[in-house]
Amino acid sequence: MKIETDKRGRRVYKFSHFVCQGGYLYAHKALNQIDKEGLRNALNAVSEELGMFDITIKIYDNIVFFFFMFKPSLAPQAIIDGIQGKIAGFAEWEKDYLFTGVYDLQEKHVREYLTQKGYDYDKG
């Protein structure tokens, strides 16, 4: 796999049979205060175990945004199972979670999205 930068400064991931620009998102809201440091360590461990790359973890008082890229051979359900298996003890989580593919998930767009939702990107 190669990571290149296009003329607009965005990353392009080139796999042997697949080209992608952007990344993926897992977001989950907690019903109480999140143990931020413990959760960050758990998400970093999941990313290493599953071979994710270009990781951005933003944890606020009661919501977590986990942005990442992964190889196309990895099943999305394996990612969800891996994440949920590690995060259970760091907060009481809402039943619903969000896992979605997005087209152009780069740091600039992540910053804009979180600002629109009322979060300070630099404090997460």
Tokens, residue 59: 């944890």
Q: What is the predicted pLDDT for the residue at 111?
A: 75
CA distances from 122 to 19, 86, 112 (A): 30, 25, 12
Q: What are phi and psi of 108, to 5 degrees?
A: -60, -45
Question: For each of the chain's 124 residues, which pLDDT tens digit applies?
Answer: 787 777 777 777 777 776 766 678 888 999 999 999 999 999 999 999 998 888 889 999 998 988 888 877 888 888 888 898 899 899 999 988 776 655 556 666 677 777 887 878 777 6
pLDDT for 105 equals 62
Residue 91: phi and psi, rounded to 5, are -175, 170
Could you say which architecture CATH assigns to the domain 22-123? 2-Layer Sandwich (3.30)
- Whole-model pTM: value is 0.72
